[in-house]
Every structure is written in C-alpha cells, then in structure tokens.
Structure 1
Amino acid sequence: MNFELVFYQYQKMVYNLALQYTQNTEDAEEITQDVFVKISQKLDGFKNESSLKTWIYRIAINTSLDFLKHKNSQKRFFFGLLRDSDHENKQYEPTDFNHPGVVLEQKEEIMKIFGCINMLPNDQKTAVILLKIEGNSQQETADIMNLSQKAVESLFQRAKKNLIQKLNQQKEYEK
C-alpha cells in the first residue's frame, strides 16, 4: 500500500476530524501530522480486518483524544504552578475557535455548542462527531468505534440528552 496515496486520500478527513475535537487549526494540524506519522509506521502491518478508512478513523480519534488529555494535564500543571507561586488570579481563556467556513454571526453560537460537546464523555463526544458532524452512518460509526449499532444509538441518545441539558444550563447562567 502506497503511503503517499493514503495521505492524499485521507488527509482532509483526518484534519476535519481533529478540528472537530480541538476547534483550533494549529492543534488540528499537529494531530493530523501525528496521525500520519503513526500511519506511516504501521501501514505495512495493516491487516484489512476493517476498512482502511475505519482504521484511519480509529487512529485519528485516539490521537485526538490523547492530544486533548495531554493538553488538559498541561493546563492543570500550569495552573497549579500559578496557584502555588501566588501570582494574581488569572482566568484561563479557551483557545480561539478557528473553524473555516463558519459565518461570523454564528461563531458565538457554534462555540457554545462545541463547548458543550467537549464537556461530554469521550465516547458520547465521538458518537456525536462521527454521526452528526462527519456525517457517517450508524453502521460506519459502529465499525469505527468498535461497537454495535444499538450501542452507538444509545450513546448518541445520551449525548443528545446531555447536550440539551448543558445548553439549557448555559442559557440559565446567561440570564
């Protein structure tokens, strides 16, 4: 299998998926690079037990989640240092939302929705991203997540319920 062909065929898919997780172009670019480094190292060992697309999705999801976990642990460490060194109390500002194609008027609402999506447990977040943002079918999502279709449907329903709850809480807070 030719790595260059795989790269050109799946680069956009991986980048868009990483962007869904991070809402930051620089982070998405870094994740995309990491994903293709992993793919280049493992491509010869790909055994066709799933489709190539499903395999790449799994790598991209895991890499994105690992990236976010690492980034969050760095933030906690950094804030611990700030607190311990008696610096003035500074509020963390989330990374700019840089999603191409989002109309300026919608940017604030989109940021709120993605903020709530990012608060979901990882499996629910992945189900929402794969089903509704990436537009995969329930069967494709089940294959990518290595779950049954019923489990994916259940995850999505819980995610939807949690999102509605989080968005309503946000509206109450803003009043």
Structure 2
Amino acid sequence: MPAQLKHIQSIASLTDEALLVEFKKQNDQQLLAQLYMRYTSLVYGVCMKYLKDAEAAKDAVMNIYQELLTKLQTHEVDNFKSWLYVVAKNHCLMQLRKDKKMQIVEFTPTVMQSEDFSHLDDVLEKESELKKLEFCIEHLPDEQKQSIQLFYLESKCYNEIVEQTGYEWNKVRSLIQNGRRNLKICMEKNG
C-alpha cells in the first residue's frame, strides 16, 4: 500500500480532538480538510436554513472553511461539531446582515428634479428619530451601550463581542436583548 494512502487512512481514523491538536501543531491543511469534510453536510444544512439559496450556501461552506484556518489558530475548541455549528450560523447571519445593508435603488429620471420639497419633511423626521436614538443609546447602562454599539453599529457577532469585551456569551445576548428593550422604552417615552 502506498505511503500516501496509509497516511490518509491514519488521518481518517483520528478523533475530532486529535485532528484539531495535530492541525494546530503542524498547521497542515490536509488535517483540517479531513475534519471539515466530516461536517460539510451539517454546515451546508445550516447555510441552507439561513440563506435559503443553494449557490449562496455552497459559497458559504467554502468561506467558512477559509474562516476556520484563522479562527482555529486563536480559539480553544472543546467540541468541534458544536463550535462549527455556531461559526456557520454566525457566518450566515453576518452575510444576511451585510446583504440587508446593500440596498438597490432603482433610477427614476422623472423623480430626479422637482420643485416639490415635501421629501425634506421625511429627512427632518428621520433626523429627529436618529437624535432620539442617539440620546437613548447614551443613557443606556455602560455594558448595554457597549454591546448595542458593537452589535448594531459595528455589525459584530456575539462571538466577536465576547472576544472584545471579555463578557460571557450569554451575558452578551442578555445585554443586547435588554438594551434593545430599554431603547424601545426610551424612544416611546421621548416620542
């Protein structure tokens, strides 16, 4: 039996944990690829659930693999399958959030120039709402304010906020939920 085939078979028999340890030691992408291949259907399923498009899901599966190359260098992973599920989910949510920001506006030549200034009322109303929102954000407790700003204004996912703030994942989730609720109350009170 050729040496290469024996090597592949020995890699295939390793546990997830052993493959992770060896990947971190050797930085051998073949080890990570072997581990990732075990869970590509799981990742694809998660991506289909969130992205609802086969081509986008396939692209996401490839992009997530690329993310793993860097993330695994800095993260301690106890249960690869669970951790990968969360990485895939967060990747898809970030993709959806990014896609929402890119709005396509149709060009309508007849609307380009007009002597009607009623659109300024909308602008002033939105500006007023933004000022209220800024006021309410500033009056949140510090931890909620920081979490809300990182999540909504800087588009960070929960895991990135955990890394940046040192808070536990559940605390970040709670701070964002409570912050959102407090913002709604403040906006209604100052409405």
Q: TM-score normalised by the shorter chain: which range applies?
A: 0.3 to 0.5
With normalisation by structure 1, the TM-score equals 0.38
Higher relative contact order, chain-length normalized (CA < 8 Å, sep 6+): 1
* TM-score using structure 2 length: 0.35
